[in-house]
């Protein structure tokens, strides 16, 4: 299965629901479902509200991207991923640093489950490197001497060879990933911040314009919209910026 290619600018937005209550989930889904493509459910919301949060998003007309960053021994992640398929999630991710065996086992298990249950296989993306990591963290703490962009590309290549649909990667690497691995290999850009928004806790941040121009298919954005005084107005600003970036790419 592949994610349906975005038709409108809004379809490219994955809104991070960094909230802790079902009431807030309902609030933002009802408010913004016509202005974004997907709602991202991460670990904080999952721990607070469990799979009810996913059910609520689906019931209120939203699509779900589950950001669990699965990483464990191959059999554990394969089983977790097949269990996840029954929850109505539109796509999810696993960590590329779990290694090729974890990735291939997961794809194989999900494909087998899909065939057995006569459903489409899920869209699975690989997380390359957390947006809070820079070269210093990679080299000094993880003891990886490779340049950070080359490291992201290596993880992306491994993900594609394992059969995954795409990766979560920064805009600085999107163009090279597309060139090396093909236009159909999905790139989702995290840590997106419009120029008018506060940076918060991420190091490798990017604007919607730069992400789209670099080749990202989807962008992940949260607080600049959800924490805005007027979330709909903020979402419309992001949509307009994406539309302008798409026009610039065509010129």
In this model, does residue 74 exceed pLDDT 60? yes
Domain annotation covers residue 2: no
| Distance in angstroms (rounded) separating the CA atoms of residues 27 and 221 | 17
User: What is the biggest distance separating any 2 CA atoms in the chain, rounded to whole angstroms?
Assistant: 49
| Distance in angstroms (rounded) separating the CA atoms of residues 147 and 74 | 27
Helices (H) and strands (E) in the chain, counts: 11, 8
Active site residues: 69
pLDDT digits (tens, 9 = 90+) for 140-189: 999 999 999 999 999 999 999 999 999 999 888 999 999 999 999 999 99
Domain annotation covers residue 4: no
In the chain, what percentage of residues exceed pLDDT 70? 95
| Distance in angstroms (rounded) separating the CA atoms of residues 190 and 142 | 21
| Distance in angstroms (rounded) separating the CA atoms of residues 124 and 104 | 11
State which residues form the domain around 36.
9-250
Domain annotation covers residue 234: yes
Domain annotation covers residue 222: yes
Residues 220, 223, 229, CA angle at the centre, nearest 5°?
135
What is the CATH classification number for the domain harbouring 90? 3.20.20.70
Domain annotation covers residue 3: no
Q: Phi and psi for 132 in degrees, rounded to 5? A: -85, -5
pLDDT digits (tens, 9 = 90+) for 207-241: 999 999 999 999 999 999 999 999 999 999 999 99
Mean pLDDT, residues 14-37: 97
Q: How many domains does the chain have?
A: 1
């Amino acid at each position: 299965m592949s994610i349906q290619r975005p038709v409108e600018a809004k379809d490219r937005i994955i809104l991070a629901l960094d909230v802790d209550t079902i009431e807030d989930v309902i609030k933002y889904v009802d408010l913004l479902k016509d202005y974004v493509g997907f709602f991202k459910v991460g670990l904080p919301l999952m721990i607070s509200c469990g799979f009810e949060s996913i059910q609520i998003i689906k019931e209120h007309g939203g699509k779900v991207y589950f950001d669990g960053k699965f990483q464990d021994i191959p059999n554990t992640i394969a089983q977790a991923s097949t269990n996840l398929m029954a929850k109505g999630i539109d796509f999810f991710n696993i960590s590329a640093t779990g290694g090729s065996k974890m990735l291939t086992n997961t794809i194989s298990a999900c494909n087998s489950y899909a065939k057995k249950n006569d459903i489409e296989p899920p869209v699975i993306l690989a997380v390359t490197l957390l947006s809070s990591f820079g070269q210093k963290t990679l080299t000094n703490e993880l003891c990886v001497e490779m340049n950070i962009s080359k490291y992201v590309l290596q993880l992306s290549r491994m993900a594609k060879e394992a059969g995954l649909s795409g990766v979560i990667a920064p805009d600085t690497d999107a163009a090279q990933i597309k060139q090396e691995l093909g236009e159909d290999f999905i790139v989702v850009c995290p840590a997106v911040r419009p120029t008018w928004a506060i940076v918060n806790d991420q190091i490798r941040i990017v604007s919607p314009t730069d992400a789209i121009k670099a080749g990202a298919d989807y962008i992940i954005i949260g607080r600049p919209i959800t924490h805005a005084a007027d979330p709909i107005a903020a979402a419309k600003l992001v949509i307009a910026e994406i539309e302008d970036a798409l026009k610039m790419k065509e010129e």
